[in-house]
Amino acid sequence: MLLNQRTIKRSGSISGIGLHTGSECRMTFAPAPVGYGFKFVRTDIKGSPEIPALIDNVVDIERGTTIAVDGVMVHTVEHVLAALAGLQLDNVRVELNAEEAPVLDGSSMPFVDLLQALGYEDQPEPKRYLEIDRTIVYHDEARGIDLVVVPSDRFRVTYMIDYQHPALGTQYTSLYDIEEEFARDFASARTFCLFSELQSLISAGLIKGGRIENALVIMDKPLDPVEIEELKKTFKISDEIKFSKDGILGEKHIRFPNEPVRHKVVDLIGDLALLGLPIKGHVLAARAGHAAHVELVKKLQKELQKKQLQKKYQVGASDKFVFDTAAIQRILPHRYPFLMVDRILELVPGEWVTGIKNVSINEPFFEGHFPDHPIMPGVLVIETMGQVGGVLLLNTEAKPGEKLVYFTGLDRVKFRKPVRPGDQLLVRVEMVFFRRGICKMKARAFVDDQLAAEAEMQAVVVDR
């Protein structure tokens, strides 16, 4: 497995039409410096704006992956990204003179061939990975989609598709070594669709560049004369409609017995590249597509953000908690006797956080509240919830050490159970709304799995 980042040795170009827009596009791969990542550059627009290939820039996943920044778009980037990631490149500039990458033969292979011809150059910085150390799951019950990532010492994929039609049926494939297998066994697998899907794609304004040469159209129904004429018009066929022995439009043959599911692996690799760095983990996928891939990458991004925060604040990793007290003091400005959080157990940045407060008889407030019947003041239970929420909120900021959280409102505050010395207060805070430094959070505090208090909290992030 590669240890250092790498780019390409020299620039090279390739041209073709876009699958969905039908636009002619000349695309150039160029070397890029360490830490650059993958960026698409629209050279046909004044100023040549850059669109980093990152999950936050995904704006559409209708039969492909579209990224954009400030309204400047690049459509159908997944096959290009698959070639870059599949060849284990890290930093490449991709220049285009149109809004959609060329589809070419519908696979990643033309890009792979070009990139291999351009050669690779190792760079003097270590390659970064997201190492998966816990199971991450995306599940869509309604559509029967499952994506699971489990720990592994390298990137692996096991993929299944299950179409309710004999033209495709159920297909499986596995990739165990991306360096050995991607270019040889997966990159040439072409994009595909069922004939019955064509009309909806056309009605949606897609596949304007669709040709027999750049996609597998799998015939899943007999054609009537009207459909034949429509098909010839769509794919610009002037001669008689022909089919391969495999039931594919045009006289072409499948490249692998399970070519469609292999192409799904190509799409997955391209979509995973939107994380910004490769993963070490085994992806198990069933009946997924671009939309599900993107949702999985969002989950992986949260895991990456958590690990980056741990690396920044936590000295010594642990699988039992995210932050200890020393790390919490690097994040929050509170100190004795008003630091009310002992550990952060779980954290999904921007979504929710779980923390604990161990309530000791030595707490200074018990001296007066109450000497003969010690109970933690309700206002301090709320303060504990607020501080746990502060960990979640401040880490939405680039430089949390330079910020403070001011709470501006409390709603629906209820105290359900007294908190006494010896109790452990477990607090869970969920982000309800956050925009431009203003947020709303929902907090609950538990003792021995019983709800002790709850509240809705409004807050604002300000400079220290």
Instruction: Give the model confidence (pLDDT) of 60-101 as tens digits.
Output: 987 789 999 999 999 999 999 999 999 999 999 999 999 999
Band of pLDDT at residue 189, cut at 50, 70 and 90: very high
237, part of any domain:
yes
Is residue 49 predicted with pLDDT exceeding 80? yes
Question: For residue 280, which of 427, 157, 436 has the smallest C-alpha distance?
Answer: 157
142 in the same domain as 76:
no
Q: What is the per-residue pLDDT across 121-173, written as a single tens digit (0 to 9) for each?
A: 999 999 999 999 999 999 999 999 999 999 999 999 999 999 877 768 899 99
Q: What is the domain extent for residue 358?
A: 314-463
412, part of any domain:
yes
307, part of any domain:
no
288 in the same domain as 153:
yes
* Span of 106-120, 151-165, 240-254, 372-386 with lowest mean pLDDT: 240-254
3-state secondary structure at position 329: helix
339 in the same domain as 456:
yes
161 in the same domain as 117:
no
Q: H or E segment at 211?
A: none
What pLDDT sits at residue 350? Answer: 87
Alpha carbon 85 to chain centroid, angstroms: 15
308, part of any domain:
no
321 in the same domain as 252:
no
Tell me the DSSP string of 60-81: E-SSS-EEEETTEEEB--HHHH
* Span of 51-55, 127-131, 218-222, 341-345 with lowest mean pLDDT: 218-222
287 in the same domain as 321:
no
Band of pLDDT at residue 4, cut at 50, 70 and 90: very high
Query: Which of 123, 147, 177 delimits the end of a domain?
Result: 123
Band of pLDDT at residue 381, cut at 50, 70 and 90: very high
241 in the same domain as 195:
yes
Q: What share of the chain is helix, strand, coil (3-state, %, to 5)?
A: 25, 35, 40
Is residue 218 predicted with pLDDT exceeding 90? no
281 in the same domain as 140:
yes
The alpha-carbon radius of gyration of the chain (Å, integer) is: 27
Question: For residue 60, which of 274, 304, 287, 260 has the smallest C-alpha distance?
Answer: 274
Q: H or E segment at 39?
A: strand 38-42
Q: Name, in order, each residue with C-beta under 8 angstroms of 316's C-beta and a sequence gap of 6 or more.
A: none
Q: What is the per-residue pLDDT across 298-325, written as a single tens digit (0 to 9) for each?
A: 999 999 999 988 888 888 878 889 999 9
Structural domain count of the chain: 3
Q: Name, in order, each residue with C-beta under 8 angstroms of 215's C-beta and a sequence gap of 6 or more.
A: 19, 103, 106, 190, 191, 192, 193, 207
97 in the same domain as 156:
no
CATH of the domain at 142: 3.30.1700.10
Is residue 23 predicted with pLDDT exceeding 70? yes
Band of pLDDT at residue 246, cut at 50, 70 and 90: low
117 in the same domain as 160:
no
Query: Which of 301, 335, 366 delimits the end of a domain?
Result: 301
306, part of any domain:
no
State the average pLDDT for the chain. 91
* Span of 60-64, 259-263, 347-351 with lowest mean pLDDT: 60-64
331 in the same domain as 283:
no
Residue with token string 């439009």: 249
Please give the single-letter amino acid code of residue 457. M
Is residue 393 predicted with pLDDT exceeding 90? no
CATH of the domain at 63: 3.30.230.20
**Structure tokens belonging to residue 88:** 């284990």
Q: Compute the distance between CA of residue 261 and CA of residue 280 in angstroms, rounded to an integer.
A: 22
What pLDDT sits at residue 317? Answer: 75
343 in the same domain as 279:
no
Q: What pTM did the predictor assign? A: 0.86
What pLDDT sits at residue 401? Answer: 66
Q: Percent of the chain at pLDDT above 90?
A: 71
Query: Which of 123, 142, 159 delimits the end of a domain?
Result: 123
Residue 178 neighbours by CB distance under 10 Å = 21
CATH of the domain at 419: 3.10.129.10
**Catalytic residue set:** 290, 369
Peptide linkage before 421 cis (omega within 30 of 0): no
261, part of any domain:
yes
